[in-house]
Amino acid sequence: MGMNYIKSGLLCTGLVLGVVTLGVGFAQDEGTVAMPNLAAKDVVIKRGMSEEAAKCIECHAKKTPGIVEDWKNGKMAHASITCYDCHTVDATSPMASQCSGLKGTKTFISPMVSGKTCARCHPTEYDEFLKSGHADLSRAAVYDEKKAGGKLVKLQLHYEGAAALGVAAGSGVNTASRTSGCAVCHGSVVELGPDNKPVNSTWPGGVGTLYPDGSVGTCTVCHTRHKFSVAEARKPEACASCHLGPDHPDIEIYTESKHGQIFLTRGEEWNWDAAPGTWQPGDYEAPTCAVCHMSGIGELKTTHNVNDRLKWDLMHKRSELRSGARGDGEKGAKLMRQVCINCHASSLIDNNEQTLDNAVALYNVYWDGAVKMKKELAAAGLLAKDPWQDGFQELMYYLWHHTGRRARQGAAMNGPDYAHWHGFFQVFQVYSDMKAIHDKRLETGKIEELSPVMSTGPI
């Protein structure tokens, strides 16, 4: 009958069969009825979807072919999940608008799609995600002025945004450092214009983005649109767009570790496409970020809560056992062991945990010493009011935020160069400079006039 019928894995109720013409051959599912001789260009696909949904695809195949090509190669397209399922919204939604192809119809759409839309079909993944540091906590790190005590705003908007040089507070120029940097990783607070479309560089945003309908989360940071692939999220590259750089060099640490070396050497041969939840040792030889932090392995189930398997807090000023919103450290340590035990002896795992515990304790000795010095300077009135104009306080920031994180995370994930040369070696150097400033201030009773510290130095 001149048609290629694709059997649908999932048919939503109330759907009728529509006919869609696509520019190029459509990937075929199992169960596809053999196609008569037709030039690939003219393939006509009849599949389970509403006429309205078919129209979106038909027109977008011409107008935005890149999106349709990508979508049709994904698993969800094969299960008849279409543009219509993810992009249509109620006419009353604060995000409701219409693209040029829908003007005059009763269908409203939005270019914004939060995790809540995915939750209609993937509720477990969404619930886990919402409990993780990737959701509200992530955005709060950039937007919650109360939580950051005003200091954050001072750094971001006053200095980085050049309010100090006269740029109008709150303007697009003033917030440019936030929207081009912090918010792309952490998430933004999306603002809308009069046509219900996102404005002020606040969309698309990072992992913890808050949408105008109150929903949270950008799932595409790991499963990029429009393929939404599980294989992609299993690769370390999925995490590397954010977990890199001087203050959290996780991808650098990983590629330095033996695990990363094995991935670099033979990763291309691994089986990345195992069905969700069935990806196990044998499909891969060494763990990726996902294996240790998210994927099911052995007895462990997949989780979208990346805090579940963590013991320590290795990102804040002092490392403490995780509790409250950051997770449960005791439980986290046990779960992480259950990852390693699939490939290692308990003696190796014990030693490795001991290495991390000791590294955390060593770092905390430096941090506690720094806090003591700061208290002494404060008591003597020898701290500048503005921490960004005070060499001692600038160094204290680098101590925990850069060098101290590298030392701790390098020790946690088996990256010796980060644990030592970029880590503890520099922790000790920064600390000694702080000590020298501390001693000099107490000796002279004065804050040195010019900061001897290059705060933008290669620390």
Q: Which residues ranging from 259 to 318 are in contact with ligand HEC (CB under 6 A)?
A: 259, 262, 276-277, 279, 281, 284-296, 302, 304, 306-307, 310-315
Q: Read out DSSP for 241-256?
A: TTS-STT--HHHHHHH
Q: Which residues ranging from 187 to 216 are in contact with ligand HEC (CB under 6 A)?
A: 197, 204, 206-207
Q: Which two tokens stand for residue 371?
A: 């806090």
**412 near ligand HEC, rule: CB under 6 A:** yes
Query: For residues 313 and 433, which CB has a smaller minimum distance to ligand HEC in the complex?
Result: 313
In eight-state DSSP terms, residue 333 is H
In eight-state DSSP terms, residue 14 is T
Stretch that binds ligand HEC, among 161-169, 243-251, 363-371, 423-431 (CB under 6 A): 243-251
Stretch that binds ligand HEC, among 165-173, 236-244, 363-371, 437-445 (CB under 6 A): 236-244
CB of residue 115 to ligand HEC, shortest distance in Å: 3
Among 5, 9, 176, 201, binds ligand HEC (CB under 6 A): 9
Q: Maximum CA pair distance of the chain?
A: 94
Query: For residues 41 and 197, which CB has a smaller minimum distance to ligand HEC in the complex?
Result: 197
Query: Helix axis angle, 391-398 relative to 425-444, nearest 10°?
Result: 160
Query: For residues 56 and 396, which CB has a smaller minimum distance to ligand HEC in the complex?
Result: 56
* Distances, alpha carbon 106 to alpha carbons 49, 97, 109, 443, in Å: 18, 11, 10, 76
**409 near ligand HEC, rule: CB under 6 A:** yes
Stretch that binds ligand HEC, among 36-44, 253-261, 420-428, 450-458 (CB under 6 A): 253-261
User: At residue 224, what is the residue type?
Assistant: T
Binding mask 67-106 for ligand HEC (x = CB under 6 A): xx--x---xx-xx-xxxxxxxx--------x-xxxx----
Is cis: bond before 226, omega within 30 of 0? yes
Q: Which residues ranging from 359 to 388 are in contact with ligand HEC (CB under 6 A)?
A: none
Distance from first CA to last CA of the chain, Å, rounded?
68
In eight-state DSSP terms, residue 359 is H
Q: What are phi and psi of 369, to 5 degrees?
A: -65, -40
Query: Helix axis angle, 346-379 relative to 329-340, nearest 10°?
Result: 140
Among 4, 50, 138, 451, binds ligand HEC (CB under 6 A): 138
Among 241, 364, 429, 455, binds ligand HEC (CB under 6 A): 241
Contacts of residue 13, defined as CB under 8 A and 6 or more positions apart, other chains included, come to none
Q: Which two tokens stand for residue 37?
A: 């001789």
Task: For the beta carbon of residue 324, count every other beta carbon within 10 angstroms.
Answer: 6
**239 near ligand HEC, rule: CB under 6 A:** yes
Query: For residues 109 and 430, which CB has a smaller minimum distance to ligand HEC in the complex?
Result: 109
Among 15, 45, 95, 112, binds ligand HEC (CB under 6 A): 112
**57 near ligand HEC, rule: CB under 6 A:** yes
**Pair type for strands 4-5 and 44-48:** parallel
Closest by CA to 291, choosing from 355, 365, 238, is: 238
Query: For residues 163 and 437, which CB has a smaller minimum distance to ligand HEC in the complex?
Result: 163
Q: Which two tokens stand for residue 173?
A: 């120029």
Query: Considering CB under 6 A, how many residues would be counted as binding ligand HEC?
Result: 131
Q: Which residues ranging from 34 to 53 are in contact with ligand HEC (CB under 6 A)?
A: 52
**176 near ligand HEC, rule: CB under 6 A:** no
CB of residue 20 to ligand HEC, shortest distance in Å: 10
CB of residue 261 to ligand HEC, shortest distance in Å: 8
CB of residue 164 to ligand HEC, shortest distance in Å: 15
Q: Which residues ranging from 143 to 172 are in contact with ligand HEC (CB under 6 A)?
A: 152, 156
Determine contact, residues 56/210, Cβ cutoff 8 Å.
no
**251 near ligand HEC, rule: CB under 6 A:** yes
Hunting for tokens 């006419």 — which residue is that?
91
Q: Which residues ranging from 329 to 358 are in contact with ligand HEC (CB under 6 A)?
A: 333, 336, 339-340, 342-344, 349, 352, 356
Residue 41 burial class via C-beta count within 10 angstroms: exposed 0-12, middle 13-18, buried 19 and up: exposed
Reduced to 3 states, what is the DSSP secondary structure of residue 198?
strand
Closest by CA to 183, choosing from 163, 156, 158, is: 156
CB of residue 107 to ligand HEC, shortest distance in Å: 5
